[in-house]
Amino acid sequence: MTAARQDVSDARRIVVKIGSSSLTTAAGGLDADRVDALVDVLVKQDGRQIVLVSSGAIAAGLAPLGLTGRPRDLARQQAAASVGQGLLLARYTASFARYGRRVGQVLLTTTDTSRRAHYRNAYRTLDQLFAMGAVPVVNENDTVATDEIRFGDNDRLAALVAHLVKADLLVLLSDVDGLYDGDPARPTSSRVPEVTGPGDLAGIELGRAGRAGVGTGGMVTKVEAAGIANEAGIPVVLTAASQVADALSGAATGTYFRPTGRRATGRLLWLAHASVPRGAVVLDAGAVRAVTERGGSLLPAGITGVIGEFVAGEPIELRDESGRAIARGLVNFDARELPRLLGRSTRELARELGPDYEREVIHRDDLVLLRA
Ligand SMILES: Nc1ncnc2c1ncn2[C@@H]1O[C@H](COP(=O)(O)OP(=O)(O)O)[C@@H](O)[C@H]1O
Ligand SMILES: N[C@@H](CCC(=O)OP(=O)(O)O)C(=O)O
């Protein structure tokens, strides 16, 4: 075992993510044997707490709905996920029951990992499931996830969940046994055993998903997810589902991504790294200072412009008057509501428009500063 993987063998709280490609048969549909093989390993991790992030809902729902491939439109993908998620959970429930273990279904969207109340609730539920010995099985809440709020892939969801539960390790399982320096189907490509930072990725060809119609993100989203976890101080092992026992033991399998940052405490990792801002507000110099130097909330009085078509709850950028992005935050108003509020004090607005207008445009707890 290489010294670098001591943190893997020592890890107590672990997020394991498995992709659709590792759970389905070549003909499509869930592969019960592969689910059982994974569960056989997970139940043997004595003294460890495991969160399983499992894809496969859409893939599992295709055949029962008479679909021959992954539909292009979101509505039919969501319908397939709705049918497939039940089947997926039923499969995990039966598989863990062989060992007398319970599973708990946890469906999340991006906003759940950053909105204060949702974040706390999700954390509390997961923590309680651990305390009661049940295994949380997480997936994206495909029914309510739209283009704006979906993670888009479960790799990043897994990284954010690892951050949420303060995991010591993230394991990404796929149908390929690690990151390759080129297309893994080419005989000249070789596995990268370790990534020590973004510099090691220069020149590596990151392709899209392998088996058409099954996986979604390919290597791009896995490497992004590893980066998010690493920045939060969490080591990552990427390997094939068939290697999960070795990966969890700290053996030199797959690709190990070394943590680059310190353990982050905030809940706003997603906002800084994985969100797509839906618009922006422009701040005057006083508001820039309030936000960057004094840790204040953003009030209507300090805003001089509104850009884009966002709605309340979405992530937006905060820009200074030169157009530089200084922060991101979850906005409390729709873009169309803001112009008449600008430059005015919250007290004045509350008097004129009602107490609902006393709220900040962005609360300081929903705001993350970007590095200069
Ligand atoms: N540089 C690379 N190294 C390894 N795999 C790669 C690379 N580029 C593209 N891939 C492809 O990424 C696929 C895994 O992604 P995906 O199908 O989305 O998996 P999953 O369903 O497990 O999330 C592999 O099957 C592989 O063909
Ligand atoms: N929520 C979707 C996740 C899709 C997804 O990210 O798939 P994958 O690239 O196989 O991890 C599902 O369960 O089908």
pLDDT in tens, 2-53: 456 999 999 999 999 999 989 988 777 899 999 999 999 999 999 999 999 9
Q: Would you state the structure tokens that stand for residue 20, as one six-digit string?
A: 């659709």
Residue closest by Cα to atom 27 of ligand 1: 210
Spatial CB neighbours of 169, under 8 Å, sequence gap ≥ 6: 7, 8, 11, 13, 14, 15, 162, 234, 235, 236, 237
Rounded to whole angstroms, how far apart are CA atoms 310 and 177?
41
User: What are the phi and psi torsion angles at 352 (to 5°)?
Assistant: -80, -40
Provide the percentage of residues in the chain whose pLDDT is more than 90: 64
Tell me the binding residues for substrate: 55, 142, 154
| Contacts for 263-266: CB closer than 8 Å, 24+ residues apart | 263/166, 263/232, 263/233, 263/234, 264/163, 264/231, 264/232, 264/233, 266/368
Q: Is there an atom of ligand 1 within 6 Å of 22 CB?
A: yes
Rounded to whole angstroms, how far apart are CA atoms 369 and 189?
40
CA 192–ligand 2 middle distance (angstroms): 24
**What is the residue whose two structure tokens read 């319908």?**
79
Eight-state DSSP code of residue 362: B
Average pLDDT, the chain: 89
Output the pLDDT for position 216: 61
CA 209–ligand 1 middle distance (angstroms): 5
3-state secondary structure of 355: helix
Assess whether pLDDT exceeds 90 at residue 212: no
**Nearest bound ligand to the CA of residue 175:** 1
Spatial CB neighbours of 36, under 8 Å, sequence gap ≥ 6: 95, 98
Tens of pLDDT, residue by residue over 249-290, are 999 999 999 998 776 666 677 777 767 788 999 999 999 999
Tell me the binding residues for ATP: 17, 174-175, 216-222
Domains delineated in the chain:
3-270 (3.40.1160.10), 276-369 (2.30.130.10)
Query: Which residues are 362's β-sheet partners?
Result: 298
Residue closest by Cα to atom 3 of ligand 2: 55
